[in-house]
Chains A and B, each alone.
Chain A
């Protein structure tokens, strides 16, 4: 089955700095890569996603990149704010709809 690895497990940045989270996946059939943000005790919220026919996608301060050849994808958050503090999960999915979650990155933005 699919295996998604995520690094780092924890990340502390100063407010205003950038944060980068990196993931790898194993199944070359995966074609959809969503990112979820989960605040303590809350549901995962989809923040951005990328499909395999695209190499990069940006939405305001958030960008994702995908390297299909290397099976790498990453999340970039610029100009971080305290409200960005949460756990972030990278995920992968094939046409089967089953989403495999990474192990999560706990991001702390220090004011």
Chain B
């Protein structure tokens, strides 16, 4: 059973370019979460998605950042017109379906390390 997959593992972009990060959840998981981690810091929640729906994007910057989880294919985190401050590790996690208020474990992918030059 493959775990959460992310690609690319490393991404270098020049300022002003677009970055696309992909996340394939574990088999059977329909919930995806994106987190950002700056060096020497904890992970910060960005967005929570189910198939074709954004459930909570309260941690996402209002501009330049967007996320989707289409019916088919991986979840994508898109950063337009990247700036140096976007350099970070971006982790996605997945979990099984939600049952009312029951919370399930989140399993993390290996991360994408974005470097903006």
Taking a contact as CB atoms under 8 Å apart, the answer to whether A98 and B111 are in contact is no
- Residues of B contacting A104 in the complex (Cβ-Cβ under 8 angstroms): 41-42
B interface with A by C-beta (< 8 Å)? 31, 33, 35, 41-45, 48, 55-56, 58-59, 91, 93, 95, 98, 100-111
Q: A95-B100, A95-B101 are in contact. Are A43 and B109 (CB under 8 A)?
A: yes
- Residues of B contacting A31 in the complex (Cβ-Cβ under 8 angstroms): 101, 103
Q: A97-B98, A99-B106 are in contact. Are A89 and B56 (CB under 8 A)?
A: no
Q: Give the interface size bracket for A toward B.
A: 20 to 34
From A1, A43, A96, A103, B111 is in contact (CB under 8 Å) with A43
Closest to B46 in A: A98
Taking a contact as CB atoms under 8 Å apart, the answer to whether B103 and A100 are in contact is no
* Interface segment out of the listed A44-52, A54-62, A67-75, A78-86: A44-52
